[in-house]
Amino acid sequence: MMSLCYTDELTQLIKAKKVDEALLDEAVERVLDLKNVLGLFEDPYRGASEEKENKVVGCEQHHKLALEAAEKSAVLLKNEAVLPLEDNAKIALIGPYANNADLLGEWSIFGKPEKTATLKAGMATIASSLSYAQGSDQYERNEALLEEAVSVAKQAEQIVLALGEGAIGVEKGGADQTSPWLQLKLS
- Coil/strand/helix, residue 36: helix
pLDDT confidence band for 184 (50 / 70 / 90): low
pTM to 2 decimal places: 0.64
**For the chain, what are the domain ranges?**
7-37, 83-184
Q: What pLDDT does residue 58 have?
A: 77
Give pLDDT tens digits for 48-70.
888 888 888 778 898 899 889 98
Please state, in angstroms and rounded to a whole number, the distance separating the CA atoms of residues 13 and 19: 6
CATH class of residue range 83-184: alpha beta
Dist. CA 21–CA 12, nearest whole Å:
11
For 99-135, the pLDDT digits (tens) are: 988 777 766 777 777 878 899 999 999 899 999 999 9
Chain segment 5-53, per-residue pLDDT in tens:
888 899 999 999 999 999 999 999 999 999 999 999 999 988 888 888 8
Backbone angles phi, psi at 130, to 5 degrees: -120, 125
Residue 46, C-beta contacts closer than 8 angstroms, at least 6 positions apart: 38, 39, 40
Strands (E), 51-109: 90-94
